[in-house]
Structure 1
């Protein structure tokens, strides 16, 4: 079973907490402002809190709100777990399993309602989701091009290059990358950016889709304003 053909991308990161949701929501906002019917999808989410009497995941809510079609939390995030830890461990704590086929079914259901799907992975690119599959396998099932969020902090060059190699080894296309400021006091930030541009361009022909600063109020519109319009138009086939 394969996903319905559509424009979109799979957003992964060099690590956890590097801004995948922030960038995913910004991409949804950017698409919506251009008249695209777009849906966010976070197939696996670990870490919920009690909001208005029900357990909710903050990332799932952010993608739901940024989508240009009306969605439920269950449609955006079919597998949500209470514990904020590795998803296969969070699932085991609840006596549940993550069903690979169900993740693809969820994507197909959204694809029937939207022109473009922004799928956010969990953690980094190769996060175990069960005994025999991981988040990279989900990306392969979906068949979408990959956007890598690089958290700008010490070590980001190595993390980015290793992630890019893992993406390519799975036969997937690294369509571009976004630099997201995690450490505002990072030393030699511009030199690191220059190296990332050179190496990801030289090795993978992957363009930089934007450099996002540390924002006090990271609303999707504010983040989207720091992305490269021309590069996104090429990514989504809107040029």
Structure 2
């Protein structure tokens, strides 16, 4: 594995991108030089204290992975709007250059986007543009609940229309007491995206000391090539 970049996007904000990005990093760290970045953080005064970077550091130390946030803005808004409201200009080319430099020093770089794929970074540049300019493969994080089929299809269509490749779909926060909605959504996703690896992560207990404990990753469809040899993913048996 050499200089791979994975861009973690989602069908919505709050869908579980941070947990998935951290899980991927923790999975790949033992045998790789891993970088984990949040290029555009909003809703945080200090990303190392109240941003996603703080979550990364509860699981991964600097001795395990290189962790970076490039832009942090205080209001929980799309980066373009949050920047405009504080009179800041986001220098996309500079952030791309920093991201590429970091990727060149890493075996694998995991980049967590802000919100969904079409969230604007500037007036005429969005997360999809950023992922494309990094030549990254997408990890699409989706909900298990009602509405996810439409949101997933829209995100995947947007990605494909921009020539972006999809490394895997991750269903995050799958409930332990899943009902017909969650199981049928999984069945539909597996049937309609049979060539795309589909990883299912359970909802972690709120009182877990390690936020990744209890995720119980399982697999529908083909094994994600980027994870080959680094993790065991038992097959998920759908109820009949």
Higher relative contact order (CA 8 A, sep 6+): 1
CA distance in 1, matches of 2:84, 2:128: 20
RMSD between superposed Cα atoms in Å = 2.8
Contact kept in structure 1, 2:5 and 2:134, CA below 8 Å: no
Q: What do residues 158-205 of structure 1 show as CA deviations (whole Å, max 9, x unaligned)?
A: 00011001111110111111101277776521011100111122xxx2
Kindly indicate whether residue 3 of structure 2 is the aligned counterpart of residue 6 of structure 1: yes
What is the Cα deviation at residue 63 of structure 1?
3.0
Report the structure, 1 or 2, having the larger strand content: 2
Work out the number of aligned pairs and report it. 225
What is the aligned partner in structure 2 of residue 99 from structure 1? 91
Does structure 2 retain, via aligned residues, the 8 Å contact 1:39–1:69?
Answer: no
List alignment gaps of at least 5 residues for structure 1.
none
1:40 is aligned to 2:36:
yes
1:55-90 deviation per Cα after TM superposition (whole angstroms, max 9, x unaligned)? 8442122235545655999x6111110111222111
- Unaligned 5+ segments in structure 2 are 231-240
CA contact (8 A) 1:41 1:63 kept: no
Alignment-derived partner of residue 234 in structure 2: none
Task: Flag the 1:231–1:65 CA change in 2: closer, same or farther, 3 A.
Answer: farther
1:209 aligns with 2:199: yes
SS of the counterpart of 2:115? coil
Pairwise mapping of residues 1-239 of structure 1 onto structure 2 (< 5 A)?
6-33=3-30, 35-49=31-45, 56-64=49-57, 66-67=59-60, 69-70=62-63, 76-181=68-173, 188-201=181-194, 205-216=195-206, 217=208, 219=210, 221-222=212-213, 225-228=216-219, 231-232=223-224, 234-236=225-227, 238=229
Q: CA deviation at 1:139?
A: 0.4
Three-state SS of the structure 2 residue aligned to 1:129 is: strand
Change (3 A) 1:68 1:172: farther
Q: Deviations over 1:37-59 (max 9, x none)?
A: 10101110101146xxx984421
Alpha-carbon distance between aligned partners in 2 of 1:111 and 1:135, rounded to the nearest angstrom: 18
TM-score (norm 2): 0.82
